[in-house]
Each structure stands twice: as C-alpha cells, then as structure tokens.
Structure 1
Amino acid sequence: MKAINYLNYFFVGLPLLLVVLGILTKESNGNLIGTGLLFTILTGLFQLVFGIKMLIDEPQDKNLKYYFRGVVLFFSLWLINGLIFNIEIVYFIIFILPIILAIFFSTITYKKAHP
C-alpha cells in the first residue's frame, strides 16, 4: 500500500510541479503548463484504476464507496450537463470536483499506508 501511496504522490505532485515551473519560468509557449494540465488526465486515470482495485479488495470500505459516488457524480454531471441542460454553474462544480476527489483519494491511500 505504501507503493501506491508514493505513486499517488508522484501522480498528484508532477502536474502541480510542471504548472508551477511553467509559471515561474514565464515560458512563452506554455509547454510546461500544458503538459502539467494534460498530465492531470493520467492522475485521474491512475486514481480511478487503483481505486477500483482497492474497492475490489475491500468492498466494505465506506471511504472508497464515497470516492466512487463522487466519481459517478462527476461523470454524470459532465454528460447530463453537456448533452441536456448546459447550466453554467454546473461547469464550476465539474471543475472543482476532480480536485476534491484527488485530495480525498490521497487521504484514503495515506490512511491505508500508515495505519
């Protein structure tokens, strides 16, 4: 579990590091910032895959169930708002929700790695 925790640190920290470096170096073409933002997709994929693995191993864990309810809420809001409603305030929720889910998954992995 500690390996998953360290991998999670890497996948969460690298996009932040790239964006901060892009801002600090005042890069005119935006390669570092763009790479950091695109790397967040891999962060979400990593957390989703390992979250599924952890939920299969421990199906009674309440925190993992809450995490997956949040993931389902995110994708449901994204699809329903994009295809049917198109309400602007929902886009702000869709923007904030992955950040909250990433922090929540990080706390779950930390608690499991350091009981």
Structure 2
Amino acid sequence: MKSLFKLNLAFIGVPILLCLFGVIDENFLFWGLLSTMLTGLFQVIVGILMLRDEPNDKYLQVYIALVVLFFITWYINAQTGYHNFLTFGLFGTPPLLALYLTFIIYKKRNQ
C-alpha cells in the first residue's frame, strides 16, 4: 500500500508541477492539462481494483458511485447543451475525487 500511495502522489503531483511550469512556457501547461486525464484513468482503475479486492469497503463503494455519478452527469450535461451550473460543478469534481481516493489509500496504508 505504501508504494501505491507514492505512485498515486506522483500521478497527482506531475500535472500540478507541469501546470505550474506553464507560467514559464505554455507547452508545460498543455502537457500538464493533458496528463490530468492519465491521472483520472489511473485513479479509476485503482479504485475498481481496490473495490474488487475489498467489495464490502464503504469508502470504495462511495468512491465508485461518485465516479459513476460524475460520468452520468457529464453525459446528461452533454446531451442537454452544457448548462453552466452543471459544467462548473463537473469541472471541480475530478480534483475532489482524486483527493477522496488519496484519503482512502492513505487510510488503508496506515491500517
């Protein structure tokens, strides 16, 4: 679990650092924003695998339910013409999901 925690922090930290370097050169900003998709993919896969190993864990069930709700809301928002209140809510959801999964991994690491 310690190595998973460190790998998760690396996946979260790299896009942040690249976006910060984006102040110097806009190419860093592009790659930083692009790498956030890899971070999300990594975290969803890790969440699914952790839930597969521990299907009764309530925190992981809530995480997967929130991920599914995010994608359902994103799909509905796309079908209805991108309403501002949904779009702004969807923009902030992935960082919150990343923090929540990091909390879950941290909690499991310290058990």
Give yes or no for TM over 0.5: yes
Matching residue of 1:108: 104
Matching residue of 2:73: 77
Q: Is 1:6 matched up with 2:38?
A: no
1:21-100 matches, cutoff 5 A: 21-23=21-23, 25=24, 27=25, 30-84=26-80, 86-100=82-96
Aligned alpha-carbon RMSD (Å): 1.0
| C-alpha distance in structure 1 between counterparts of 2:61 and 2:11, whole Å | 22
In the TM superposition, residue 84 of structure 1 has moved relative to its aligned partner by: 2.6
In the TM superposition, residue 86 of structure 1 has moved relative to its aligned partner by: 3.0
Deviations 1:18-45 (A, max 9, x none): 111122x2x2xx1100100000000000
In the TM superposition, residue 16 of structure 1 has moved relative to its aligned partner by: 0.2
2:22 alignment partner AA:
G
Structure 2 unaligned runs (5+)? none
Deviations 1:47-73 (A, max 9, x none): 011111000000011111111111011
| C-alpha distance in structure 1 between counterparts of 2:49 and 2:65, whole Å | 16
TM-score, structure 1 normalization = 0.92
Matching residue of 2:16: 16
In the TM superposition, residue 85 of structure 1 has moved relative to its aligned partner by: 5.3
* Runs of 4 or more above 4 Å deviation: none
TM-score, structure 2 normalization = 0.95
Matched residue of 1:109: which SS? helix
For this pair of structures, how many residues does the alignment match?
111
Question: Higher relative CO (CA 8 A, sep ≥ 6), structure 1 or 2?
Answer: 1
| C-alpha distance in structure 2 between counterparts of 1:99 and 1:86, whole Å | 20
| C-alpha distance in structure 2 between counterparts of 1:94 and 1:63, whole Å | 21
In the TM superposition, residue 92 of structure 1 has moved relative to its aligned partner by: 0.6
